[in-house]
Amino acid sequence: MEPSTTMHSELSKEIKALQLTMDRLIQQAEEDRKSWKKVEEDSRLRLAQIKSKIRLNVGGTIFSTSKTTLMRFPVTVFSVMLSTNIWTPDAYGGDGIYFFDRNAHVMDHVLDYMANGWIRTEILSPQDLKSLKDDLAYFEIPYYEDTSTKVLRAPIAVEVENQQSNPEMKYYESLRDLGEKTGKDVNLELDPEHPQQSIAVSVNAIFDQCLKLSSSLHGASFDVKHKLQKWRHLEEKVSALAAASADQIKLEFRSRMFTTCKRTLMKTPWFEAQVSRWEPDPDSGAYFIDRNPRFIDLILDFLRTGTWNTDSIDKKLLPELEEELEYFNIDESPVPLTWDPQRKTPEIVLSDDLRTATKTAGLSWNTSVIGTAPATKVRYTIIQQTKGYMMVGLAPETAMPNTRSIFLASGFYFFARNGSLYSQDGHANTSPPLGKVSAQNGEWIEFEHDRAERTIYMTRPAQARQIVFQNVPDIDLRPCVTFGDNGSVRIE
């Protein structure tokens, strides 16, 4: 047998096998598309039955808004809440009202953002802006902070998607076209005069089409899979919120009323002990507590979120707040997290309040700063970065800021440049479960250390809360940032 004929036969077999692989990929992508299409169809049917006016009970305050406002962003807590039968408020004693155990003051800003698609950050206090970002993350509403115009706005990708009827369909139409074209090119035409040349030309054409198809498949399939995963995650979250709404508890502090839910109060021993023996007022249905209501909003927000928002409080009042926390047996200090000026490399400059760390000394990874105290939950806001050469995370108390490549030697980190993970346990350029997404200026990254589960969670505006590190040692971990180039990050 001629060498060219043998080559032709072997290449034909390999290309047939490649085509079968591509066919399976196309089939899986098509199944994903059909699953997402069913989600969309079911959502449209459900939304058609929902009234245009929606009422929300947020921490005891009633809000009226529109279905259009709550559906502005396609995959959020609100869109899943309205688009599925998971949460029917009447079934949970809500009289047609959806209850959320959140801060009512912040909800005004959330609804403004959803109604307009943007909100000016300069009209908000630092406290309100942080709380707004917290609640946007809680409801999994995407946003982008444009620091140049001082506006919080919808990401461009979301706006484009809202203007398209079915963007995935266009992806898959192009996939089918490429698949058909690839299939036609599989049969090698052997030119007797120039056999090797003809094989090379045909093979190049086939592999070129396969590369194009593979690239298109990756983009379309990943997009739909990500939406399906997030939708299923939100269905679970909405189900939990619906169940929690059935456990509403009204509290009265010297005639001022607050509404929360049982699971929030059970996070502290004082309330846990009281819940079992309380008797509500027969007229108001509220449990009376003879304490000053001055700090109750702040305390309830802490119990809901696990973080303190004390920026707007007069520092002279902090001793009184700590006395109130002692009364309610709450151990976590409301004093803000800060960077330790004694545990930083010389190239890093700290702000007067010790919450912003800045490096201006140029390219070098041996520059880090560590927090003053252990933290189970910490949020980093990237104020400025150079090409993303910055890592934020949690480090053990024994970590030294001048350690070379501290992100591999001590602690657990997120790399802003490409959204990957690094750690002392061998993670290096590892992808988080929801994929690698680089961080932008103005974005925040939240780390949460659950010592009982020995896990670290990460939450970002672009990604839902996800487990990023497991089997974490049961030790105190402190905030840590390490710079590879000039940049600035704030701790909260």
Which DSSP string do the residues of 48-84 spell out, in sequence order?
A: HHS-SEEEEEETTEEEEEEHHHHTSSSSSHHHHHHHS
In a structure prediction context, what are the per-residue pLDDT tens digits for the chain, which is 492 residues long?
455 566 556 666 766 776 677 677 777 777 877 888 888 888 888 888 888 899 999 998 999 999 999 999 988 999 999 999 899 876 555 568 999 999 999 999 999 999 999 999 999 988 888 889 989 999 999 998 888 889 999 886 555 455 444 444 444 444 444 444 444 444 444 445 544 544 454 555 655 666 565 555 555 556 777 788 888 899 999 999 998 888 888 999 988 999 999 889 988 888 888 877 888 888 888 889 999 999 998 899 888 887 777 766 777 888 888 888 888 888 777 777 889 999 998 889 999 889 999 988 767 777 899 998 888 889 999 998 877 788 999 999 888 888 878 888 889 999 999 999 999 988 999 999 989 988 988 899 999 998 889 999 999 987 888 999 999 999 989 999 999 888 999 998
| Edge-to-edge order in the sheet of strand 390-396 | 339-344, 367-371, 477-483, 390-396, 412-415, 420-423, 428-430
CB under 8 Å to 193, separation ≥6 — which residues? none
User: 56 burial class (0-12, 13-18, 19+ CB within 10 angstroms)?
Assistant: buried
CB under 8 Å to 315, separation ≥6 — which residues? none
- Tokens encoding 75: 């995959």
Type of residue numbered 162: N
CB under 8 Å to 335, separation ≥6 — which residues? 310, 318
Angstrom distance (rounded) from CA 58 to CA 410: 42
Strands 248-253 and 286-289: parallel
Angstrom distance (rounded) from CA 313 to CA 320: 11
Strand partners, 350: 357
Angstrom distance (rounded) from CA 168 to CA 231: 16
Angstrom distance (rounded) from CA 50 to CA 79: 12
- Whether the CB-CB separation of 421 and 430 falls below 8 Å is answered with yes
User: What is the C-alpha R_g of the chain?
Assistant: 27
Closest CA to 401 of 483, 328, 462: 483
Angstrom distance (rounded) from CA 486 to CA 347: 10
Angstrom distance (rounded) from CA 137 to CA 465: 9
